[in-house]
Amino acid sequence: MKRIIIISILILLILTISCSHIEDVTVPNGGVVITLDDHHFINWCQVDSLLKKYNWKASFCVSLIGSRSDLDIQRMHKLYEIGHEISGHGYMHVHSVLYAATYGMEKYIEDEITPMMDYFDAESLNVKSFSYPYGSRSNFTDNELLDYFDILRATSDGVRTAEKSKCYFDGSPIVYALGLDDYFYHSCEEYFINLLTYAHEEDKIIIFYGHKPIETVTGKYQVSFQTLDMICKYAYDNNMNFYTLSDLADMIE
């Protein structure tokens, strides 16, 4: 009898866990999210003029908004008005887990989130997503930040095959983007095309991130125009839609 009760409880537990599993989100032909970090407004506008032929859209994840020039603020508005997303990337661009552990979560929100959102509000920008600086996140920071944002972007490493990579949207409000910057050891056209092909064939949405788009890469935290062009061209040629982080948030049930 005791055995039957234990087995019944186990079956119930398994059923509960499988019912609460987040359903994968699929879209016809798959999709692409491109996120670009920090505050490279001049380069972002340059790359927009190169990629608009593919009807691309991106999420620009803005850090240090309080110290940008008037011209940068104008460029930000221009990007927003033509349909790109402005995403939060920290008022000070701190390591969230470390900062919250050192000074407390309340102080982290007070220093890193509130002034940033006040700035965006004053500029009438509707900011619904946050991209973690350095990809630094924990369940604790996720839980806190989901009070302020609809979706949070962390980072994924590039050691996995497409099937095992975390850089596909699975319906969760925490997403993991794969780096496109040239200095990453996984950065090569063949790997990116492999992952894109998987997204296309499996109707999945792949999420990328990079920093400063530039014609010729000269250092770390730079993504070449060529890489971005190759990704957008693949998406365009294969009828894959572009999405922003907040578009993903709208798909979460």
List of residues contacting Zn ion (CB under 5 A) = 37-38, 133
Nearer to Zn ion, 90 or 173 (CB): 90
Q: Which is nearer to Zn ion, 135 or 171 (CB)?
A: 135
Q: Which is nearer to Zn ion, 87 or 224 (CB)?
A: 87
> Residue 149's closest CA among 171, 124, 133, 127?
127
Query: For residues 167 and 159, what is the distance between their CA atoms, to the nearest angstrom?
Result: 11
| Residue 133 Cβ vs Zn ion, minimum distance, rounded to whole Å | 5
Identify the bridge partners of residue 21 per DSSP, sorted by sequence position: none
Q: Checking phi first, is residue 41 left (phi over 0); if not, alpha (psi -120 to 50) or beta?
A: alpha
Tell me which residue has its CB nearest to Zn ion.
37
For residues 192 and 173, give the distance between their C-alpha atoms in angstroms, rounded to a whole number.
Answer: 24
Burial of 134 per CB tally in 10 Å (0-12, 13-18, 19+): middle
Residue appearing with tokens 């619904």: 128
Residue number, 155 or 244, with CB nearest to Zn ion: 155
- C-beta neighbour count of 81 within 10 angstroms: 8
Q: Give least dist CB 173 to Zn ion, A.
A: 20
Taking the complex as a whole, the smallest distance from the CB of residue 92 to Zn ion amounts, in Å, to 11
Measured from the CB of residue 221, what is the shortest distance to Zn ion in angstroms?
8
Q: Of the two residues 38 and 112, which places its CB atom closer to Zn ion in the complex?
A: 38
Instruction: Calculate the CA 200 to chain-centre distance.
Output: 19
Cβ-based nearer residue to Zn ion, 196 or 217: 217
CB 63, min distance to Zn ion, A = 5
Work out how close the CB of 181 gets to Zn ion at its nearest, in angstroms, rounded to a whole number.
11
Residue 133 CB neighbour total at 10 angstroms? 20
